[in-house]
Chains A and B, each alone.
Chain A
Amino acid sequence: MNDHRDQGRPEPAGRDVPSHDEALRQRLHALPACMPVPPDGWDRLKAALPPREDVSAALAAAPVARIAPASRRRPRRWAWPVGGALAAGVALYAVLPAVMQSRHPASIVPTTLQVQASAMTEEYRQAMAALPQQRVADYQPALAELDQSAVQIRDALAQDPRSWHLLEQLQRTYALRLELTRQAAMAATGLTT
């Protein structure tokens, strides 16, 4: 981003260093080479560290504890690039699913409509279970048709989980199926509907 913003910016005139940069450089040189440790500094640092025996036990238990002790290890030139790549890989592994999820949430997290459809289907099944199931010849073809239609609508909703009209169709189909089941039950008992 900065590269783009810097493009076209005019170069400083000549090689003159601005006066405030020179003043800053001199102040930096004037700083002491090392800071003296406060009198109670080591005690405060020790108090902040974990107990020594716990660290040793953890190192002993961990597989990496068999590698050379930290005090004898020397900094390796490849450690930073490899560590960086590893961190980047872990970050990619952790972040990429979230990014993909935000782009295609339907494939991972159910949409509100899908949740509503599932809840509606569950309520419908409970309502159906509460109704007497009577086989009345005049009603059977239509009831079978409604069952097939409900499956078809649920499949369509899985493909297009943001379609309100499919949810409404499913609701109407369930309502009609329940009503006709009730009518069939009443017809079987000889009651008019």
Chain B
Amino acid sequence: MRISILLSAALLLSAPAWADTRVDDRHAIASGGRIELSNVAGKVTVRGWDRNDVQLTGTLSDGLTLKPEKSANRVRWEVEYPRRSNNGGATLELRVPRGVEVQLGTVSADVDIDGVDVKRLQANTVSGDLRAGGRSGETALTTVSGDVLAQLQTARLDARTVSGSIRAGGGVSGDIGAQSVSGRVGVDAGRTQRLAVETVSGSVELSASALAPGGRISAQSVSAPIVLRLPRTVSAQLSVKSFSGSIDSQAGTVERPRHGPGSSLEARLGAGDGDISLQSHSGSVRVRLDR
């Protein structure tokens, strides 16, 4: 009797595991084709591999179904949820070939991308975190309240969040844009053609190993501090403004109007080829030439 009760309890406890649905799907896709994955909750992992097909594996919680759409140049998987319930979500792993476009969308599911070498990478989430590593020709990472961590080689990065943080490095270069409302933004860039960062109250910490000829760096914040680190050899016209914050720069002299608030700094760095503009309403601004 006691044994039967224990067996029944064990069966009940293991019932949810039985309800999960295994996913194992594979599709041959042309070079440069597009792979799309949409999942509300759970987790999405993306890894690159040296094969020409794309593979999706993982588990779906009870009640969830996978809806595939496939063609030679495009494959799309969407996890369909029962209305007003995510039932625990789906845990999925995507294996992608080189040179494809990857487009991911989630609501609360975290997205973890690494070891990829793709033409284009785009990931959107609402409250999930985005982590991207590897190599991508063009990258767009957008979350509402999650964090963005981009440690990848890319010549074009656009990262956006509202209340999460943004950290980018590991070979980010070229054209970089980062927007946050209250989260901090940290970008450690290589050779930069354009670096544009905007926040409202999130602190900004930027560095670049070089500024391309005619390159531009701009950072704007309402109340947060801005720090920029560049090599001493940089060639640019530097313009710094703050309404009520302090300015601390290793180049140029801070000017203050005789009457009224505000301070500014204009300086020519090297030959003055590029443009650097830093502006914070009430936050401090620091410029260091020691990168």
Question: Which of A's residues lie within 8 Å of B, judged by CB?
Answer: 138-139, 141-142, 145-146, 148-149, 152-153, 156, 159-160, 163, 165-166, 169, 172-173, 176, 180, 183, 187, 190, 192
Chain A, interface SS category: helix
Contact, CB under 8 Å: B200 / A169: yes
Encode contact with A along B137-152: 1 for CB under 8 Å, 0 otherwise. 0000000110000000
Q: How far is the CA of A150 from the CA of B126 in the complex (A)?
A: 20
SS of B interface (majority): loop
Q: A138-B126, A172-B198 are in contact. List 7 more A-B contacts (CB 8 A).
A: A138-B107, A142-B163, A145-B182, A169-B200, A176-B181, A180-B162, A187-B107
Closest to B105 in A: A192
Whether the Cβ atoms of B220 and A165 lie closer than 8 Å is yes
The chain B residues found within 8 Å of chain A, CB to CB, are 38, 83-84, 105, 107-108, 126-127, 144-145, 162-163, 179, 181-182, 198, 200-201, 220, 222-223, 243-244, 261-262, 279, 281-282
Q: Are B162 and A156 in contact (CB under 8 A)?
A: no
Contacts of A145 in B (CB 8 A): 145, 162-163, 181-182
In the complex the two chains form, is A173's CB within 8 Å of B200's CB? yes
Contact (Cβ within 8 A) B144 A180: yes
Taking CB atoms, residues of chain B closer than 8 Å to A173 are 181, 200
**A169 partner residues in chain B, CB cutoff 8 A:** 198, 200, 220, 222
Interchain CB contact under 8 A, A190 and B84: yes
**Choice from A142, A163, A192 contacting B281 with Cβ under 8 Å:** A163
Interface contact A152-B145, CB-CB below 8 Å: no
Q: Is the CB of A152 within 8 A of B201?
A: yes
Q: B242 → chain A, closest Cβ, in Å?
A: 10
Residues of B within 8 A of A156 (CB): 222-223, 243, 281-282
Min Cβ gap B282→A in Å is 7
Instruction: Report B-chain residues with C-beta under 8 Å of the C-beta of A183.
Output: 126
Residues on B with C-beta less than 8 A from A146 are 162, 181
Q: Are A153 and B222 in contact (CB under 8 A)?
A: yes
Rounded to whole angstroms, the CA-CA distance of A117 and B145 in the bound complex is 26
CA A147 to CA B145, docked complex, whole Å: 14
Nearest 10 CB-CB pairings of A with B:
A142-B162, A149-B200, A138-B127, A142-B144, A138-B126, A156-B281, A145-B163, A160-B243, A142-B145, A141-B145
Q: Can you list 5 A-B contacts (CB < 8 A)? A: A138-B126, A152-B223, A173-B200, A180-B162, A183-B126
Q: How far is the CB of A166 from chain B (nearest CB, A)?
A: 6
Say whether A165 contacts B279, CB under 8 Å.
Answer: yes
Q: Is the CB of B243 within 8 A of A163?
A: yes
Shortest distance between the CB of B256 and any CB in chain A (Å): 15
A190 x B83 contact (CB < 8 A): yes
Q: Which residue of B38, B144, B198, B222 is within 8 Å of A192 (Cβ)? A: B38
In the bound complex, what is the Cα–Cα distance between A44 and B228 (angstroms)?
83
Give A152 to B105 CA distance when docked, in angstroms: 31
Nearest to A159 among chain B residues (CB) is B243
- Give the shortest distance, in Å, between B247 (CB) and chain A (any CB): 15
A163 to B182, CA, bound (A): 20
